[in-house]
Chains A and B, each alone.
Chain A
């Protein structure tokens, strides 16, 4: 999302609102961008900052070439301030630095931009200090707060900012983007089902253990279709040792979920929707013999439930054992 026209494709509604405000010269003093990871909060903030400073705009589009655009991109523009959590939350020292900044004029002009990432990690105290500043909108200042979790933002902050809801990405669009970036189609389908963050997708694509994870999921399903005792053993010997932390375990369940969903799609003749397997994978014919349509719906529910338990920090081995038993039944 480097340009407003790209942004319009990804986040049509929000982009439209913002372009309209830019054209009419009616930008708000404070925005709250909320949306899931990868929905383009930082990109939009960057784009708006460039639009505000660029001296060679074409319409609303910044040029990306001038010293303004280039320095905003590199983080060297002295009047564009990025504040992001240093560790768990935004620290008091960061807020104090910010407050000092509030008291000063800009370095190059009086136009200033503050971008606060993960604004939900602000302490009540820090948030209030920022608010106090936002309450004096006399300055040429634009504040942008970014959050994945708008529920954790203080109501008082929310009421003082213009809220912009970024929608989850359209998977087809995302998949297309991945294919354009040289990721094989079969992989692009699966990745777009797992994440909507371009960076994450590339990382997974290059990750050796992701290939291995995929293989383990297929092996597990094979176990289910064969002798049932093997599956239980497999969990202990292969699955648990391989997926070490909670994040990996959750991702493994995501993969298992997608695989079973594929089976269901295959069953009801919706081959186009298959993402985990290749559409013409011969194993599919073989696998579906072992599961009825009804049992597959149950299995999907069990997997979702298992995922929830992991999130609640239930012991992972326990979760997997239970899931295995449930699927075998």
Chain B
């Protein structure tokens, strides 16, 4: 294997790929970075087995040559030294060459490094994109969907399947659902995916957080394909793969109330601020509990009480209200996170009783839903 490459292109790629590499891994080869040279470009791969990132550097783009003198081949280089070496090389181009003994020589100007490589055959085989099993969506929309749901995944390992976000593609609609069993976030987006449908694809929340970090906020398309055991997100130069969570995601749709007894219409910002103030006196070890009481004249009361600290009450004007009177207690943390994730100026909150889940939605639209379970006080 041999090629000469623009150093800045290589640095960017290496940085991306390094995000997937962990020094603590049970599989020795994963401490390394795989480099594969083909005539049309160079692919770098890093993986901690949960997520894998492939970065592609094309031979040329828009007439600019990135890579030249390519002799095809592949190698795994230990990731501990490689990134620093590349960063500190003197010239703008780097030549990388591998001999029969898997010895890697890195040259730039008068600097020459020699590293021991490992056989690329030892590296995990990652699934390839199958275009007939994939669909596309704008990158920024995907990031948006992730942000609106992933915060609601469970952080407890007692029910591992809930640590992931469930992806469903059905009837031209892509849905993300996440719940930690105390609140649930759900987001729908219409997608043109042809015949493609799937359900019960559960992507670890940790992977999605990583993906969100690595993707740029662009309108460019990301191609998503799902295999039996991995999900792949493909942008122009980057492939992001994640293993899935094994097992059946619990059915949640029938647990979401469809009717409401009390509905409040309110400005999102005002409500967020009032609850945030009340939460100042709510104790964390008691679920940050805040109580909401409906009043007459389109007012609600937000209250919090900690015997040791003090008491706070605030009357908050709302747009309007329908249905029965209500007094309900809930975790301010969950409600604030839900309200913020909605990204709407005005919301409606639908209650069905003090002991039942309530739903926050944008005032006009069903595409996003934040469901929250109240707390029971004795």
**Cβ 8 A contact of A110, one of B29, B52, B126, B229:** B229
B72 proximity list for chain A (CB < 8 A): none
SS of A interface (majority): mixed
The interface on chain B, measured as residues whose beta carbon lies within 8 A of the other chain's beta carbons, has a size of: 29
Q: Tell yes or no: B244 within 8 A of A by CB.
A: yes
* Known contacts A78-B27, A103-B160, A103-B246; A108/B122 CB under 8 A: no
Q: What separation, in Å, do the CA atoms of A116 and B86 have in the docked complex?
A: 40
**Cβ 8 A contact of A105, one of B29, B126, B228:** B228
Number of A-B contacts (CB under 8 A): 75
Query: From residue B31, how far is it (CB to closest CB) to chain A in Å?
Result: 11
Q: Tell yes or no: B63 within 8 A of A by CB.
A: no
Whether A97 pairs with B26 at a CB distance below 8 angstroms is yes
* Known contacts A78-B49, A100-B157; A108/B245 CB under 8 A: no
Q: What separation, in Å, do the CA atoms of A82 and B26 have in the docked complex?
A: 9
Stretch binding the partner chain, chosen from A66-74, A204-212, A316-324: A66-74
* Known contacts A103-B161, A109-B229; A75/B27 CB under 8 A: yes
Whether B27 pairs with A70 at a CB distance below 8 angstroms is no
Whether B26 pairs with A81 at a CB distance below 8 angstroms is yes
Whether A99 pairs with B157 at a CB distance below 8 angstroms is yes
Q: Tell yes or no: B124 within 8 A of A by CB.
A: yes
A-contact bits for B109-142, CB 8 A (1 contact / 0 none): 0000000000001111111000000000000000
B310 proximity list for chain A (CB < 8 A): none
A-contact bits for B152-175, CB 8 A (1 contact / 0 none): 000001001101000000000000
Query: From residue A185, how far is it (CB to closest CB) to chain B in Å?
Result: 39
Q: Which of B26, B29, B124, B246 has the most CB of A within 10 A?
A: B246
* Known contacts A76-B29, A78-B30; A110/B228 CB under 8 A: yes
* Known contacts A78-B49, A139-B246; A105/B230 CB under 8 A: yes
Interface residues in A22-81 by Cβ distance below 8 A to B read 67, 70-71, 74-78, 81
Whether B29 pairs with A103 at a CB distance below 8 angstroms is no
Q: Which residue of chain B lies nearest to A74 when distances are taken between CB atoms in the complex?
A: B122
Q: What separation, in Å, do the CA atoms of A250 and B159 have in the docked complex?
A: 51
**Cβ 8 A contact of A104, one of B30, B204, B228:** B204
Interface residues in A71-119 by Cβ distance below 8 A to B read 71, 74-78, 81-82, 96-97, 99-100, 102-110
A82 proximity list for chain B (CB < 8 A): 26
Query: From residue A238, how far is it (CB to closest CB) to chain B in Å?
Result: 46
B122 proximity list for chain A (CB < 8 A): 67, 70-71, 74, 76
Whether A108 pairs with B125 at a CB distance below 8 angstroms is yes
A76 proximity list for chain B (CB < 8 A): 27-29, 122-124
Interface residues in A96-153 by Cβ distance below 8 A to B read 96-97, 99-100, 102-110, 139
Q: Tell yes or no: B243 within 8 A of A by CB.
A: yes
Q: Tell yes or no: B324 within 8 A of A by CB.
A: no
Q: Which residues of chain A have a CB within 8 Å of any CB of chain B?
A: 67, 70-71, 74-78, 81-82, 96-97, 99-100, 102-110, 139
Q: What are 12 inter-chain pairs, A to B, with CB distance below 8 A?
A: A67-B121, A74-B28, A74-B122, A76-B122, A76-B124, A78-B124, A81-B26, A99-B160, A105-B244, A105-B245, A106-B243, A107-B52
Q: Which residues of chain B have a CB within 8 Å of any CB of chain A?
A: 26-30, 47, 49-50, 52, 121-127, 157, 160-161, 163, 204, 228-230, 243-247
Given contacts A100-B157, A108-B124, 11 further A-B contacts (CB under 8 A): A67-B121, A70-B122, A81-B26, A82-B26, A106-B229, A106-B243, A107-B243, A108-B126, A108-B229, A109-B229, A110-B229
